[in-house]
Chain A
């Protein structure tokens, strides 16, 4: 229970400040990009960016929900690795196995998520620690299954990563649909509202009799699901699953979430901000490539951009 202090009223701009900053940065980047190279402002390039951002977007979507409840899911990277090797391993070139393999992998993702949630709810361990542990365990399981690339996907499976529908990348369309659906869910269903409530005040939610357990099970299950889905797209992109393929995704799935205005403390933010954050990161990578900046410096710039994005918009700091 918190004693609430009255604070200064915030206008629209202040309330959506971080999203405004992200949009501003996006615009600036686009201007910079077009100045840097003529090939930047082509339709092909933008389609490229959309295509490449699909995987980050999907995993960040699940992560957003976890963060909204005041938690975090650090197991997504390992889950992606496991899911991808299982997918290509089980399929192993047989087109008839594709659908079952996808189903298995998605189911696995949900299961892992439920397990995470269960540990948080009943063992009462902080989500950071739980998902860290599960992540480590999953990575071990992945390596048990295979130490290198496993199996392969049949021809045509790369449609998901590279295909176009009505000129737009398939993945991008699916991404937008998923995000829109989730945004509507968060706004218009009771469970969606409870997600915010649990993040805002978890004890309060329990006192009010809200189904905290159900919320957490759903949120982490969903995060596991999106991680597995990300793996599907990754495998589509590379044609085969690899045991370390998800390693980077854990921490990088958090950046768009936070940059987009969802606070790690929970209870505030949303998926639209995350999508903007994803595009910011992708656009940044793209522009840096055109600027011919070696990948070494790219890392530096990425880090700096993150710092800028989150520190320029600061909750008005009261002295108290």
Chain B
């Protein structure tokens, strides 16, 4: 029950504040970049920028999927595990391009299947997303462990290595891929009826059901998307790393959630955009890189990471409330 009167047109000062509020996120990113450049002049150097972009691209992919899941009131903690599994798949064959298609299909399949399991657990069995994705994360870890017998080995085919670390006209391939994916999914989320259904379901699943929307199906598809994107990100990242590494993607589940939240995606569901999530990811990458540039010891880097997370979230809350 609200008793707020709908008054007339907002005054000029109010309009400025509205603009600031709408673009606060973009402004924050800009501010971060400015500060970083001041702190470390080589921040905006070509080499460093391309470095950051290479790091940001896989994170961006995962963030897209995470946004979908958080929008339907969920969380996907299994993305890092899916990424690592995809990386293991990439190195499990001959290491030559003839296996590229097989690797792609298998890794993507695993990602999609995991997403399906997650979605079914959450939608049909009412399991809390935290637990469901935690459990699949653990199960995948075990499977990975068993497959490699604890000693991962092998090479990533050149195809993925190029995708992961190569570039064309100075623009990294993985960034192009991320951009394309971002565009596709942005269209799906903001411009399609399915996207509208996601927002309605995330806002209130009961309302969605009473509108004839199959809330379960919408939820499951979101988890499948997240799983698929994580698998892709894992393949790309393994291409970047080149050799096998059981810990590809470590930390991505936390980072992607943080990026999404900083980007305005509400943990309670129904609110947020892909663009916001990507900007959040960009902010994270900028901050981490800036800290790296400062040559600070790794310990301090981790501390700063922690502080930034809290400050950013607090700032976001302020912005929403103000």
B310 partner, pick from A133, A295, A303, beta carbons under 8 A: A133
Residues 129-171 of B contacting A (Cβ, < 8 Å): 130-132, 134-139, 141-143, 145-146, 149-150
Stretch of B9-17, B100-108, B298-306 lying at the A interface: B298-306
A21 at the interface (CB under 8 A from B): no
Known: A129-B261, A132-B258, A136-B303. 20 other contacts (CB 8 A): A123-B317, A124-B321, A129-B313, A134-B306, A134-B310, A140-B305, A141-B303, A143-B298, A143-B299, A143-B302, A144-B297, A144-B303, A254-B131, A296-B149, A299-B139, A299-B145, A300-B146, A303-B139, A311-B127, A319-B209
Tally of A-B residue pairs with Cβ under 8 A?
Answer: 141
A205 at the interface (CB under 8 A from B): no
User: B262's closest neighbor in chain A, by CB?
Assistant: A129
Q: How large is the interface on B (under 10, 10 to 19, 20 to 34, 35 or more residues)?
A: 35 or more
* Contact string against B for A residues 111-142, beta-carbon threshold 8 Å, 1 for contact and 0 otherwise: 00000000100011110111011111111111
Cα A306 to Cα B132 in complex, Å, equals 8
Check if B138 sits within 8 Å of A140, measured CB to CB: no
User: B309's closest neighbor in chain A, by CB?
Assistant: A133
Which residues on B are within 8 Å of A, measured CB to CB?
Answer: 121, 125-128, 130-132, 134-139, 141-143, 145-146, 149-150, 206, 209-210, 254, 258, 261, 267, 297-310, 313-314, 317, 321
- Given the interface contacts A302-B138, A310-B128, does A140 sit within 8 Å of B261 by beta carbon? no
User: B206's closest neighbor in chain A, by CB?
Assistant: A320
Residues of B within 8 A of A139 (CB): 302, 306
- Which of A124, A136, A299 counts the most chain B CB atoms within 10 A? A136
Residues of B within 8 A of A297 (CB): 142, 146
Residues of A within 8 A of B310 (CB): 119, 123, 125, 129-130, 133-134
Residues of A within 8 A of B142 (CB): 296-303
A22 at the interface (CB under 8 A from B): no
A sample of 13 inter-chain contacts (CB < 8 A) reads A119-B310, A140-B306, A144-B297, A251-B134, A258-B128, A297-B146, A299-B141, A299-B145, A300-B143, A303-B141, A307-B131, A307-B135, A315-B126
